[in-house]
Homo-oligomer: A and B are copies of this chain.
Amino acid sequence: MYSFTEENYLKAIYKLSDNNGSGVSTNSIAENMQTKAASVTDMIKKLSDKKLLKYEKYKGVNLSQKGKDVAIQTIRKHRIWEVFLHEKLKFGWEEVHEIAEQLEHIQSELLINKLDEFLGYPTHDPHGDPIPGENGEFHNNAFVSLDTVEANKKVILSGVINHSVPFLQHLKKIDLTLGQKLMVIEINEYDRSLKLLLNGKIEIFISNEVAKNILVK
């Protein structure tokens, strides 16, 4: 139905939309997709012709409902494949994204629904991001970042804000994984670094930079 490239543009624009009504800029899309502004303008015209977004010269773009639908379905496929790669094939959470970038473009509604069923209808991907349903509905996560949690409160590591490979590798290295039980035992006023208790056993220190990028519930 839609090309590889079209789906990638729609996904990028969807992620850059903050629903402020303000259009997504050409440059921000170019930066996000590692391409040039001129290429973005070309593609925007094409997507506009196909009614996937609204475009006014020099004013940026906004996805139409149709455009949002395609973006959300692509995200759904991406995240379901990530679960498969992590749960079944035992890929690390820092490895799944790149492969899912390819798998998300496989065209078959039936495939993704059967895969979803095979995986037991997961609600979140290996980074804690919610998986939209077949009809595109997101269940709100309501996670908070670890640097806002008060001392002595038990929480569960439920997601990350930074999805970069180095960050995910770092968390793995210090034994922080999704689903982990943790408790803040000390907050250092000076640099807002934290001392944590993992699974009621091991104590570790993390910087505020790390804490800000961890989501818990």
> Which residues of chain B have C-beta atoms less than 8 A from A204's C-beta?
none
Asked whether A91 lies within 8 Å of B106 as measured between CB atoms, the reply is: no
> Which of B89, B106, B115, B118 lies in contact with A111, CB distance below 8 A?
B89
Per-position 1/0 for A90-110, Cβ under 8 A of B: 110000000100110011100
Asked if A201 lies at the interface with its beta carbon under 8 angstroms from chain B, I say no
Docked complex: A110-135 residues within 8 A CB-CB of B: 111, 114-115, 118
Asked whether B103 lies within 8 Å of A106 as measured between CB atoms, the reply is: yes
* CA gap between A111 and B88 in the complex, in Å: 11
Asked whether B90 lies within 8 Å of A114 as measured between CB atoms, the reply is: yes
- Category for how many chain A residues contact B: 10 to 19
* CA gap between A118 and B87 in the complex, in Å: 11
Q: Can you name the residue of chain B whose Cβ is closest to the Cβ of A98?
A: B108
Asked whether B106 lies within 8 Å of A89 as measured between CB atoms, the reply is: no
* CA gap between A152 and B9 in the complex, in Å: 62
Which residues of A does B touch, CB under 8 Å?
Answer: 85, 88-91, 99, 102-103, 106-108, 111, 114-115, 118
A-B contact pairs, 14 of them (CB 8 A): A85-B111, A89-B111, A89-B114, A89-B115, A89-B118, A90-B114, A91-B114, A99-B106, A99-B108, A102-B106, A102-B107, A102-B108, A103-B103, A103-B106
